[in-house]
A and B are shown apart, each in its own frame.
Chain A
Amino acid sequence: MTFSIQALAAPSRTNEPRSTGSDISVDSDEELQAVSSVKRKKHAAVITPGELVTDDPQWMRGHGTAATPGSTAILATVAGTLLRTNKLLSIQPLRARYTPEIGDLVVGRIVSVETKRWKVDVSAPLLAHLPLSAINLPGGILRKRTSTDELAIRTFFSEGDLLVAEVQSVYQDGAASLHTRSLRYGKLRNGVFIRVSGTGGGGSVVRARRQVWTINTANGGGDVDVVLGVNGYIWICKHSRGELVASSEEAKKMNEITRMEEAVSESMYSNRNDEIPPQTRREIARLTGCVKALVENGIRVDEEMVMAAYHASLEPDGDDVPMTMDYDEGHETHEYLGGSRGSRVVAAAVEATKG
């Protein structure tokens, strides 16, 4: 079916009162646990900003809540689900912007160019800064930046360019300062960009051991790199040797300063894509579909889940008869991971990671 339209899923409304203050002000701890877990299972109650969470003084307020002065009431400040850790009440937001932390690997897009720095969109409340002094300048990592570099600032990055960087520091107001002073960081090429929500919420990128890895794809696709920015920006591209997203051993080899000088050349900031065969493009598209399906179904996006979803998507699906269109003969449509096919792939992936 090339055109599908589904009825709006009716929200499972129950007429019972929500598990707000009155429910969790039970005295006995065991009873409380039982009550709240049952309630939560029945309908994952979404608490809205300003809603009274509890007015019992025994609870402590955590993230996403606020105390009202002069009373013991705890009010919600974000929309989300209630999370209880012992006596601490916090609210997990349904959707949150990314809060930069030092050391985070982020993918960002340049939105403006200033005299000595770039402003980068990293999906945080404030734009991040990338100072000219925090990038690898052509001709050697340790070179001092000069006025010539300042004039040629647009040859490194200009508006719209994507880059992978690390958060170097966070200012008082929460704005991040980035750096790309490593061969693993820099301009992104040869791939596609996906935007999902960052840390926090259901389907989103979570901080993990590895944010960047290489997949040896099926169907002759070759190696494909996946960069999961902690901020929810994702880059999937063809793996190219010794380039920005270098594998660990290559990075080690590059550790000598002399080698680095050679590596950091003008080509680092080129906009030209490599030759990418259709097989690789197809696998990149499949991976994109996997990530989108994970997000749509509210599953976390990390290496484990993406790999599981990718393998699940390679399995032929019983329900989906490959259809051929009249006008492009022989092209299968079951590669599209949207709608019900996406949910099935994600379900299979979740099953696979459990076992």
Chain B
Amino acid sequence: MPPSTLLSPSELSYLHSSLSLDLPIRPDARSPTTFRPLVAETDLLPTTNGSARLCFADGSEAIVGVKAEVERTIGASSTSSDVFARGEDGDGDTKMQSAEEEMNEERRRLARGKGQDSWIEVTIDMPGFARDDDGVVVFLAQMLQEGLVADEGLRDRLWIGWGWHWRIYVDILLLTTPNSYPLPLLSLTTHLALLATRLPAPISRIDEDPLFNDDWDAAEPLYPPSGSAHASKPPFTLLVISVEDNIFFDPSREELAVADAVCAVTVGTIDAPVSSGKRREGTPKLRLLSLRIIDPPARLAAATSGTEAEDDQGAWRPARGGMKRAVVGKMVKVVLEVGGVGEEVMTGLEGFHDG
């Protein structure tokens, strides 16, 4: 997918040998887990429920807008559960807390397990891919959607009442031509946009037609902020490469060119029930949603160059074969461990959203 980076054999060999040292030296002297600085802004599109713009250090840039729409749930059977709901209502009026609080709590409880995958829709627009049914675009959109729906909490939060739900449209626009794998950029921008997304607060009861508070300040965040009882975070995808036994985050173009293996690691939060009070404040526990191995560009180039260049006096040749188990294990560990890269990225993104 990315345009092949034209590098001379001596450059490739220099890069590969630098990256495979015991203490690897990246071409820009970063440590293996350091990310290049990002620039971002949120809430820039006035007509969306949440939006974000993110610029990567390599100059690529993306905008994501999240739009929510109320929709009638097709085939929702309200008869049997209605009775159940009414019964609950009868119990509720003895303990008079804030009525709204109670309604929200009840909605949350009733919504559990009722969310549907199809309520979240992701579309991607990339320059150079004019058709929106292009394989690349569909595949990327699917990968992002898959991460979002893996979080049952999100789906359930879209449930408004019997017969009504929110439908979320995540529209991703890549502004620059993709000069390397665009997935991390798109995913991090989506993450920021979803963090900034708010839905109008419902004031109707769950068995009524939906009615919302028209005060935007009262709108509820789609992802409850950390610290609240139901804290969860949108997932994100990171690109990790391996060279020999070393792994590197946020690879630059040159580093991708010599990667032995390229992985897209998707990380989400565990939707822990309210009861578990053991979590540390502000840090929802992470879980691995998916780990995909992408064909490294080096191997693609090697495949096309064919039998030629057999001579190559000591020049670097792309490695054959798959990824070592130990390397995969290391990747997962570095991403998921407490204080690891995943947590760092999560807090970094959230810190940006709050600040």
Contact = CB atoms under 8 A, between A and B. Distances in A.
Q: Do A and B come from one complex?
A: yes
Interface of A: 1-9, 109, 111, 159-162, 188-193, 270-273, 276, 278, 281-282, 285-286, 288-289, 292, 325-328, 331-333, 335-339
Interface in B1-21: 6-11, 13-15, 17-18, 21
A272 B314 contact: yes
24 contacts: A2-B341, A3-B34, A3-B341, A4-B38, A4-B348, A6-B39, A7-B352, A8-B39, A8-B40, A8-B41, A8-B55, A109-B6, A111-B6, A192-B27, A270-B313, A271-B13, A273-B14, A285-B28, A325-B33, A326-B339, A326-B340, A333-B30, A336-B29, A337-B29
A221 B332 CA distance: 35
B32 A325 contact: yes
Contact of B34 (A109, A111, A273, A336): A336
B23 to A, nearest CB: 6
A164 B55 CA distance: 33
B64 to A, nearest CB: 15
Contact of A285 (B6, B27, B330): B27
A151 B127 CA distance: 41
A282 B30 contact: no
- Central interface residue in A4, A272, A289, A292, by most chain B CB within 10 Å: A4
B35 A4 contact: yes
Interface of B: 6-11, 13-15, 17-18, 21, 23-41, 53, 55, 57, 249, 254, 312-315, 330, 334, 337, 339-341, 344-345, 348-349, 351-352, 355
Contacts of A162: 8, 10-11
Nearest to A267: B313
Contact of A5 (B11, B18, B38, B340): B38
A323 B352 CA distance: 22
Contacts of B17: 273, 276
A88 B117 CA distance: 65
Contacts of B36: 338-339
A132 B88 CA distance: 88
Contacts of A6: 37-40, 352
B344 A160 contact: no
A286 B35 contact: no
Contacts of B27: 192, 285, 288
A193 B32 contact: no
A272 B314 CA distance: 6
B348 to A, nearest CB: 4
Given A109-B8, A193-B11, A338-B37, A327 B334 contact: yes
A129 to B, nearest CB: 18
B30 A336 contact: yes
Judged by DSSP, the binding face of A is: loop
A209 B10 CA distance: 29
Given A7-B41, A281-B18, 14 more contacts: A5-B348, A6-B40, A9-B39, A111-B6, A188-B8, A189-B10, A190-B10, A192-B27, A271-B13, A273-B314, A281-B21, A325-B32, A328-B31, A335-B29
A138 B313 CA distance: 17
Contacts of A285: 18, 25-29
A319 B313 CA distance: 46
A189 B25 CA distance: 18
B9 to A, nearest CB: 4
Contacts of B349: 5
B185 to A, nearest CB: 13
A205 to B, nearest CB: 19
A270 B27 CA distance: 23
A273 B37 CA distance: 32
Given A161-B8, A162-B11, A276-B14, A4 B37 contact: yes
Nearest to A341: B37
- Central interface residue in A3, A4, A5, A189, by most chain B CB within 10 Å: A3
A292 B28 contact: yes
Given A8-B53, A270-B313, A327-B334, A3 B28 contact: no
Task: Enumerate the 7 nearest inter-chain pairs by beta-carbon distance, A residue then B residue, closest first.
Answer: A339-B37, A285-B29, A271-B9, A335-B29, A8-B41, A3-B348, A272-B314
Nearest to A292: B28
Contacts of A188: 8, 10
Given A5-B38, A278-B23, A281-B18, A160 B29 contact: no
Contact of B25 (A281, A327, A337): A281
A271 B315 contact: yes
A276 B11 CA distance: 13
A288 B28 contact: yes
Contacts of B55: 8
A153 B331 CA distance: 44
A192 B14 contact: yes
Given A109-B8, A273-B10, A338 B348 contact: no
B186 to A, nearest CB: 16
Contact of A159 (B6, B23, B39): B6
A191 B14 contact: yes
A276 B30 CA distance: 19
A271 B313 contact: yes
Contacts of B28: 285, 288-289, 292, 336-338
Contacts of B33: 2, 325, 327
A231 B171 CA distance: 40
B35 A2 contact: yes
Given A4-B37, A278-B23, A272 B344 contact: no
Contacts of A4: 35, 37-38, 348
A351 B76 CA distance: 70
Given A111-B6, A161-B8, A271-B9, A286 B37 contact: no
A6 B35 CA distance: 12
- Central interface residue in B11, B21, B24, B249, by most chain A CB within 10 Å: B11
B7 to A, nearest CB: 6
